[in-house]
Amino acid sequence: MTQPLTLALTSDETYLDGVIGTLSGVLRNASPAPVHAVILDCGIRDSSWALLEHTLRSTFPLLSLRRIPVSPEQLHAFNPTGAALRLNNSSYARLLLPELLPDTTRILYLDCDLLVSADLNPLFTTPLHGKLIGAVPETHTPRLDQSIPGHLLTPEETTLPTFNAGVLLLDLAGLRNSAVIDRIRALPPAFHSIHMDQAVLNYVVRGNWEKLPGRWNRQRFITENFSVYRDHPGSVWHFIGRMKPWHFAPSFMRGLVADFHRDLVSTSWIPRTRGTLRPLSPAWRDLLKATRACVLRLARGLRPSSAS
């Protein structure tokens, strides 16, 4: 019997647009089978949750939703001084998944800033070969010593590859048996204050993760200065950095930003964020980039599948 696709996302009140857009892409591309989504609630108002739940359930009848509240006290151990905040504390909630879901053996964690244009069931069933985590390599700080000081690593560990934590296939049973969360909590407060959640997780599970094909987490920055287009088929696009699709004005969206907005508004959800950014690149240049991306996507779709 096929294992249902089981997902986990974390959010507070500020990332609800991201939850809707990401899950919409997941569900529109998923196989016709039940999808279970766990939302780790780090500060969602009851009225907002009711609207989110109604929007998703009415649009996607095969979706089941579960809300698990996460208190600031539960996250305190991972960011005790608040110095490591990037966007908000909810990104640390994923570290609690082995404890919050004691009866779940495997789950696919997703950030709330993903454009999903692939069926995630093949990803969810990917063998981990005894490793604790399946993830795509980090493209911007690819070596462990680029995010963790060398004196904390053995010479062999300095060149270990790192993974991006935006898409994580988690062996929750293995993480519990390995006491990974206890090991993270045992790190000195100064370590957490300097190193953010992704670096901490890479440090604790170093060498014990399975490399996944790049198509499951294509990491892209978006800015007003240039637009990015889907030049690969069947992929998950990850909007890394502070700028997100919902920060752009809808009438000026292009490329991946426009694709994400399409998934968002294809439900009855009214975006909470009123975007104001406009692309600065000329329309003719974006037209050329869009044409090139389309040709590349079609050509790559005709090739045999690979790890790209």
pLDDT cut 90: percent of the chain above it = 78
Q: What is the pLDDT of residues 124-150, one digit of tens each?
A: 999 999 999 999 999 998 999 998 888
Q: pLDDT value at position 52?
A: 97
Q: pLDDT value at position 149?
A: 84
Q: Is the pLDDT of residue 1 over 50?
A: no
Q: Coil, helix or strand for 68?
A: strand
The answer to whether the beta carbons of residues 165 and 157 sit under 8 Å apart is: no
Q: Is the pLDDT of residue 304 over 70?
A: no
Q: Please state the rounded mean pLDDT for residues 46-56.
A: 97
Q: What is the pLDDT of the chain when averaged over all its residues? A: 91
Q: Is the pLDDT of residue 181 over 50?
A: yes
| CATH number, domain containing residue 145 | 3.90.550.10
Q: Please state the rounded mean pLDDT for residues 238-263.
A: 95
Q: What DSSP element (H or E) covers 103? A: none
How, if at all, do strands 63-69 and 35-41 pair? parallel
- Using pLDDT thresholds of 50, 70 and 90, give the confidence band for residue 60: very high
Q: pLDDT value at position 65?
A: 97
Q: pLDDT value at position 189?
A: 74
**Half-sphere exposure of 97 toward its Cβ, with a 13 Å CA cutoff?**
32
Q: Coil, helix or strand for 300?
A: helix
Q: Is the pLDDT of residue 295 over 90?
A: yes
Instruction: Give strand pairing partners of 277.
Output: 248
Q: Is the pLDDT of residue 178 over 50?
A: yes
Q: pLDDT value at position 87?
A: 44
Q: pLDDT value at position 306?
A: 53
Residues 6+ apart with CB under 8 A from 303: none
Which residues form the domain of 223? 1-308
- Using pLDDT thresholds of 50, 70 and 90, give the confidence band for residue 83: low
Q: How many domains does the chain have?
A: 1
